[in-house]
Every structure is written in C-alpha cells, then in structure tokens.
Amino acid sequence: MASYTTGKELRKSPKRLIAVGLVAVLALVSAFGVKSVMDGLTDIERETSSDTESELSIPTLSNSSTVEDKIIYTYDVRFHEDIQKGPLALVNRTHATKDLEEGLVSVFEHKNSHYHVKDQEVLLTEECIKALNAMLKAFYEATGREDLQVISGYRTKAYQQSLYDNAAQDDAEDAASRVAKAGHSEHETGQAVDFNIFRDGITLEFDGTEEYAWLAEHCTEYGFILRYPEHKVAVTEFSYEPWHFRYVGVPHAQYMQEENLVLDEYIPMLSAYTYSGTHLEINDKNGFLYEVFFVPKNEESNTTEIPIPAELEYTVSGNNIDGYIVTVATGKKQQASAQQIPADPKPESSAADESADLPTA
C-alpha cells in the first residue's frame, strides 16, 4: 500500500537502483504533499494527488502509466548455480539439471488425508507439497474421491538413469520418447508428481478421464500444469502423460493455460520481458495482478543483481537456461477480467471485485 502512495514522486526518480533508504524520504515527501493539498492547493494539484489521498481506491490505470512505475525496487543477489533452482526452471531434452536435493521434504509426513503416497521415500519441495495438498483437497470436494496416489516425486540422477536404462533394454527408440535421460527429467527438480489411482487395494493407471479430468482443468488454480499434453507432443518431445503434473506457481500456470503454452514455449518467451522494458502482466483468476520480468545472468561476474520490490511479495526463480524470472505480486486487482480479454469490461469496480471472488466454473 505504501509503495503506491509514493508513486508520483517515484516517477520522477530513475527507475533503476532505487535504494531502500529512499523509501523514507519519499514517505516524507508524500506526507508533505498531502499536507499541502490539505492546506489548499489548486484543483489541478488536488486531482493529481487523488490516489495518494484515497488509499483504498483501486487505481484506474486509465492513463498510460503502468504499475511498475509505482513499485519501489531494491536489489538482491543470486549466484549462477541458482539459475537451475525454482519453480520456473525449464528441464527438458535440451536443458539438463543437476541433483537438487536441498529443500526436499517427505510427502508422507506433510500430506493431508485426501490422497495416498506410494511410500515414505517420495520427496517434493515444501512449496510443491503445499500446493498439492490444496489441489487434492479441492479435487476431493469436487468429486468425493480420495483415491489418488502420488507414485513419483523427486528422483535422483542415478535413479533416473536406471529408469532410462531399463526402458532402453526393451526398446531403445521407444524409451527415448517415454523416459528422460539422467539430468533431463523434471522429477529431478522435486517439483513434479506422477499419479496413480489406488482403489480397493488395486492400482490403476491415471489416464485423466472421468472425474480425474478435473485435475487437468483445475490444476492451474493451484500452480500446477499438465506438463506433457497430448496436443503438444511435437514441442515437449515427450509422449502424452496424463499423470504427470509440474508445479510452476499460480500466475504462470494460469497464463500458460489461457495462452495454450507449454513450459518449453513459455520460459523462452519470458526473456522478452525485461526489468527496464515491458513487464508481463498476469491477472490470476481472482483478479490479482502479477508482474513478471526476466533478468539475464551477468556473464562478467559470479553473481547477478536481481531487482526485487522493496515492499511487495515476490519470487525469484532460475529459468535453468540463462537467467532469472522475477514474479511480483502487486496486491492490486484490475477491473478487467482475469483473462485480459478486452471485451466485456466491467465498469463498476466494486461489482467486478465481488465477481472476481466467486469460484470460477
């Protein structure tokens, strides 16, 4: 909230390298500005200060200014090895990952009661399990089913290699399309799950049909994507896997679903959105606005400076190629629909906010 009240002052400042200490100065300037208005300045000045006065009003974005003008940025630092970490790390046939064992926890110990897990050895990142719990609770509420079983989470490189070798023994060519080589499986990130159906003591293959189609449809609301969809085999270079879901985070998952993109298309696309250039704006299904931009790795150093918002929630993820993706939760709601469809604008902002809170179909 405070960052928006200082927006006017910030626009006059250089966008880059705004030190945190400046926040205090801006706050003073802002307070003085409001006082000046109170003391009776002209109507024009009063109007330009309107958004500093009404803290609860939703900015209309009716002029050409964009939201990033109003966000105060500071810097954080990442080492190059961090490029392979995070929910937006692209792992595929081209881009390999290392074993990333840190930050993994047992699904068995953290799961809720609405699904099963194969054994106590299945590991995922904590963030991924949280999202999984939320998704499978919602799945239960929608379908009454609690028979999903997580059969695969994190895999070591050695284990992935053994899977590949086993498959290749039977049919080398087939193995190549079905099983990733060591270093090239998303399971090595700890952010991908495979499901089975475990019903009456019998294990069935998860084929994504009947009630289970709910997952492919709603997974993005919880930050997951169906990673290898049937219609994108030519892009992913993997067979259709209805059982394999990857955690990427809510705004990214929803954007990819809306734009019909797989991760192999989405991550390279994000490189066009830079900190000093245009940010990708994503509205989630509740209408909250996120800003996303790419920060290339600094080739002349072991570290890269990452612009991060001083006062807002954000995430930084490596893309596992050449840099980092910053996602800023602006905390703002936009009047337009979540899909950024220009048609059907909602003129009443309060009505739009209420409808945005309703469950989506």
Residues with a catalytic annotation lie at 241
Q: Output 162 or 303, the one with its CB closest to Zn ion.
A: 162
Choices 76-84, 158-166, 195-203, 244-252; region in contact with Zn ion by CB under 5 A:
244-252
Measured from the CB of residue 151, what is the shortest distance to Zn ion in angstroms? 9
Identify which of residues 70 and 244 has a Cβ nearer to Zn ion in the complex: 244
Site map for Zn ion, 40-59, x if CB under 5 A?
--------------------
- The answer to whether residues 122 and 153 touch, using CB atoms and an 8 Å cutoff, is yes
d(CA 31, CA 8): 12
Q: Which is nearer to Zn ion, 156 or 274 (CB)?
A: 156
Residue among 99 and 194 whose Cβ is closer to Zn ion: 194
User: How far apart are CB 192 and Zn ion at their closest, in Å?
Assistant: 6
Choose the stretch contacting Zn ion; rule: CB under 5 A; options: 41-49, 115-123, 236-244, 256-264: 236-244
User: Smallest distance from the beta carbon of 180 to Zn ion, in angstroms?
Assistant: 9
Residue nearest to Zn ion (CB): 244
Indicate the SS3 state at residue 8: helix
Asked whether position 322 contacts Zn ion by CB under 5 A, the answer is: no
Q: How many amino acids of this chain bind Zn ion (CB under 5 A)?
A: 2
Render 147-201 in DSSP notation, one character per residue. Answer: -EEEEE----HHHHHHHHHHHHHH-HHHHHHHSPPTT--GGGGT-EEEEEEEETT
Interaction with Zn ion in 65-124: which residues (CB under 5 A)? none
Which amino acid does the sequence have at 76? D
Q: Is 244 in the site for Zn ion (CB under 5 A)?
A: yes
> Tokens 């790390």 correspond to what residue?
89
Residue 103 — φ and ψ, nearest 5°?
A: 80, 10
Please, what is the minimum distance in Å from the beta carbon of residue 120 to Zn ion?
19
Residue 194 in the binding site for Zn ion (CB under 5 A): yes
DSSP H or E run through 16: none
Instruction: Report the nearest approach of Zn ion to the CB of residue 124 (Å).
Output: 12
288-296 vs 224-226, strand pairing mode: unpaired
Q: Which residues contact 144 (CB under 8 A, 6 or more apart)?
A: none
Closer CB to Zn ion, 221 or 241, in the complex: 241
DSSP string, 52-74: HH-TTSPP---SS--GGGG--EE
Residues near Zn ion, by CB under 5 A: 194, 244
